[in-house]
Every structure is written in structure tokens, then in C-alpha cells.
Structure 1
Amino acid sequence: MLWRRIAHSQRLTAVREHKVYMSLGANLGDRESNIKLAIQQISELIGPVVRQSALLETAPWGFSSANTFINAAVCSQTSLSPREVLNATQDIERTLGRTQKSTDGQYHDRPIDIDILLYDDLQVNEPDLVIPHPHMNERQFVLQPLSEIIE
């Protein structure tokens, strides 16, 4: 439990910290730099990254491309809600140049992709946010880095 002093108040308020596991992938531009910049932004916008996997180079999954991916997984401590984490990851993606999300079920090359895999033991089932990630167990490029950092 983290305690924070509220501005203009002498009262201390408990802030619940959550563990959120995320996968990252990039196959456009300076892939390794994009991953590192995304991790830095996660630390700044979501919360400190407490675990980080090694980088893994993989073939594209779900579509054809000559560009291979660099993948990684991180665990961050956050006081944000799952919705706030999603909004932050989408902001990071836009900042790093991602313009196209796969809304039609088709995957595309991208400078960065960040997916929320797990948020504590919470289950979320909303149209644009499902936790645990519904396809993570089908994807070795997610499972291998995740296995390095999960408790």
C-alpha cells in the first residue's frame, strides 16, 4: 500500500498499487529504440516498470510482412484503472507514430504495439478492453517474454 499526501490537505490517503503486465512489439523503424522508448513512457505515464524481459526477434503473426518484430514484456506498478492504462498505452502508441489500429481484423506493420495482458487477477470484458488478453496463450512471442517476468 502506498500513502500519498493530497495537495492542500494534511490528510494521508492510501493509494492501491496494481501490477499490470503488458506486451510490446515493433516491426517498423528502429524497432529496438521504439521498444525502449515505449518502456520509458510506460514508466512515466503508467507507473514504474519493475520487471522487463529480454528482447525477442520474431516473425510476423497473423499477416505477411518482410519486417520481423522485436517483442518484449514488462510489469509495471500502477495506481491507474485498467481503462486509464489502456488510454495511456494508446497515447504512447500515437506518440511513437502508430496511426493504424487493426479494426477490420487485419494486422499491419507498426512502429509499436502495446497490449495489456494481465491486471492483477482482474477480469474485464468490454468491447475495446478484454483482460486477461484473449489471445495471449496462442502467441509464443507473448508467452516467452511474459514467462521471464511473471511471478
Structure 2
Amino acid sequence: MKKHDVFLLQGSNKGNKKKYLDESLILMSNELGKVVQLSSYFESEAWNMKNYSIFYNRALHLKTDFSPIDLLKKIWDIEFFIGRKKNSSRKEYQNREIDIDILFYDRIIIYSFILKIPHPLLHLRRFVLEPMCEISPNKNHPIFNLTILEILGLCIDKLYVKKISE
């Protein structure tokens, strides 16, 4: 069975952020597939949120057997297990224990109501691009045909993003 190359972004801005990132990483390793690469922790301002705490983010490269939709469902299970409660009636971003986004899945492009790959906002978000650059700067975006490093160079997001040493 073919292993698929998937890039994910973890984020947390509630409670013990590192603990939530680490717990979800263990669950992803056990449930989703083999973690091939893992970025450092990055601290960042929240993107397009009011009344927020600083976020911790981390990017990872994973090899998985799951289809994109099955992967998404497994990710939702992990988020729920860690403590994330999704409020479907609210449209704005909310503080969260854990958020796991699918950034890339092989080189496929999916644009459906439930799932969009590559992540449709990744090119606008420095907090995604910096950790991705650390683990895969030459990863090619299948729509823009630019590398992550090139996209970071073009990114106009000026929000605070800083690598955390630990």
C-alpha cells in the first residue's frame, strides 16, 4: 500500500500549549502514521482573532495510509480527545487546546465543502510558513508552483512569529 506524504500544522493557544502539542503528536504517531520530520515550536500572534492568547505552532511531515477524508476524520477525533470543542454556530476563530490542519497531501488538490487541500490560507500565514520552511523549504505548492521558501519571501503577513528554543 502506498504511503502518502502529508504535511500538518499543530496549533494551541489555551492552557499548557506545549503539552497539547506533544499529546496530539503522540496520538498522531500512533493513529495516523509515521512522523518523518517535526519542526521546532514556534510562538505567534493569533491570525485574525480578537481576545486571544499567544499561539504555539509546529509543522510536521507524516507518512500515512489514510485517504484525505479518513485522515481528516481521524484528526477530528484526536482534536476532540485532546479537548477541542467545535462550535459550529460561531464563524470567527476561537481559542483552542489543539488545532490540526492538513496543509498538503501528496501533490493533490481538493476543493470541497468539507476539505480543502492545499490549505487555502497557508500562503497568507507566516505562522504556517516559518515552521514549514524549517522542515521542508523546497516543498512545492501544487497550485502556485512556488516553494514554501519562495512563498514565505512573498508573504505580507507582519504578525509576530518566533522560534522557541527547547
TM-score (norm: length of structure 2) = 0.79
List gaps (5 residues or longer) in structure 1. Answer: 1-14
- The within-5 A match list for 1:2-151 is 15-101=1-87, 104-150=90-136, 151=139
Identity of aligned residues (%): 34
Question: In 1, Cα distance between the equivalents of 2:87 and 2:18?
Answer: 20
- Corresponding residue SS for 1:62: coil
Rg bigger for which structure?
1
Q: Assess, with a 3 A threshold, how the Cα gap between structure 1 residues 117 and 101 changes in structure 2: closer, same or farther.
A: farther
- Corresponding residue SS for 2:9: strand
Deviation digits for residues 7-56 of structure 1 (CA, Å, limit 9, x no counterpart) = xxxxxxxx110110000100001100100111111111110111000000
Q: Assess, with a 3 A threshold, how the Cα gap between structure 1 residues 145 and 101 changes in structure 2: closer, same or farther.
A: farther
Question: In 1, Cα distance between the equivalents of 2:58 and 2:42?
Answer: 6
Q: CA RMSD in A?
A: 1.2
Higher strand share: 1
User: Post-superposition shift, 1:74?
Assistant: 0.5
The code of the aligned residue for 1:40 comes to: I
